[in-house]
Chain A
Amino acid sequence: MNWIFQNELVIIAFTAIIYFGAQKLQKKTGIVVLNPILITIAIIIPFLIVFHIDYEVYNKGGKYIEFFLKPAVVALGVPLYQQLEKIKKQALHIIISQLIGCLVGIVSVVLIAKMMGASKEIIFSLAPKSVTTPIAIEVSKTIGGIAPLTASVVIVVGIFGAIFGYGIMKLTKVKNPIAQSLSMGNAAHAVGTSKSMEISPNFGAMSSIGLIINGIFTAILSPYILKLMGHWITF
């Protein structure tokens, strides 16, 4: 089995086929927990372990898939451009609420993790947990977290937000649809946005603004926020 996986094209095809199947499965069942990324990872990891294939071997093909992360983030400039008019109309409200969402997101996760006694590496890996994965991975690398850990936490957070987000906001009386969809994008990035997209394209558009703006804020601010927090807490 191991020798087949020495070929990087086999690895790429294998990953794409599993992802495609997972995507189909979610579309058919409509169950949010069956997130394609989560399922693909949950199939590949046990597979590699069972057949004694090292991650380094898998990554020979994996690195070609990962290569596209950066161009894909650049491509997010297109939806951002398309939402520009909408953003302008309520620019101040959006920016202030996103900024507060960003600050609260980083500070709260750091404080809770610290209180529970997590190590420095873990805390830094959790800090960018609210933003879309490629941005979170980059941020995590910049501030000294463990990028793969960040990646998995981000996905779990996104799925959690997509499943429970609107329910939580109903309970806490966040009633305004724009406020709901913006904070969904802020807290649960792309996965939350896909949930909003299911409700209506308008919800989806607002959520994507939340995900993009919080991504930018988190990328810019998180090193400084952590440095500031470092004055009061020893990580």
Chain B
Amino acid sequence: MIRQCAIIFGCLAIGELIVHFTSINLPSSIIGMLLLTLLLKLEWIKLEWIKGIADFLVNALPFFFVPAGVAVMLYYDLIFASFWEILVASFGSTIIVLVVTGWTHQHLRVRTKKNRSKREKLIAR
């Protein structure tokens, strides 16, 4: 358990240091996440060392954000003043993202498949 904490907070601390010294535009937690992935990939850290705490943290992730959500009560006026802007912009944009991302990926797959079969035909000739 202590080793698990050491790994998670170690990655996070390194992330904080990197942000502090490089003024990079990334949250320290994201750097920590990429670092953890890298360390797992390099097999410097074994998956079973970290699995327990990682499963707990990932599963409980939505819970940790409740206080930030409650803080909305501080911005009451702001939200009600721009209620429709917020609603239309976020829902509209979500629909656009769903469709455009889906189309793009689908289109890329079809193209690669076509290219592959073209190549195979050429070779067959």
Contacts and interface: CB of A to CB of B under 8 A. Distances in A.
Given A75-B57, A101-B97, A157-B91, A45 B102 contact: no
B78 A122 contact: yes
Interface residues of B, dominant DSSP: helix
Contacts of A216: 30, 34
A59 interface: yes
Per DSSP, chain A at the interface is: helix
B79 A149 contact: yes
Contacts of A84: 37, 41
Nearest to A186: B101
A40 B63 CA distance: 9
B102 A104 contact: no
A219 B24 CA distance: 11
B61 interface: yes
Contacts of A129: 90, 93-94
Contact of A149 (B75, B103, B112): B75
Contact of A58 (B11, B47, B67): B67
A201 B76 CA distance: 39
A183 B99 CA distance: 8
Contact of A96 (B55, B86, B104): B104
Interface in B85-123: 85-86, 88-106, 108-109, 112
Interface in A133-158: 133-135, 137-139, 142, 146-149, 151-153, 155-157
Contacts of B58: 72, 75-76, 78-79
Contact of A37 (B27, B53, B65): B65
Contact of A108 (B12, B62, B92): B92
A149 to B, nearest CB: 5
Contacts of B29: 69-71, 73-74, 134-135, 138
B8 interface: yes
Q: How big is the B interface, by class? A: 35 or more
Contacts of A40: 66, 69
A122 B40 CA distance: 39
Interface in A70-100: 70-82, 84, 92-94, 96-98, 100
Contact of B101 (A66, A70, A74, A187): A187
A188 B68 CA distance: 19
B21 interface: no
Given A15-B67, A48-B73, A58-B67, A187 B98 contact: yes
Interface of B: 8-9, 11-12, 15, 25-30, 32-37, 40-41, 47, 50-51, 53-55, 57-58, 60-75, 78-79, 82, 84-86, 88-106, 108-109, 112
24 contacts: A16-B63, A37-B62, A40-B66, A44-B66, A44-B70, A45-B70, A55-B71, A66-B67, A74-B36, A75-B8, A75-B33, A77-B11, A77-B32, A96-B108, A112-B89, A133-B62, A147-B68, A151-B71, A152-B79, A153-B90, A168-B98, A179-B105, A187-B94, A224-B25
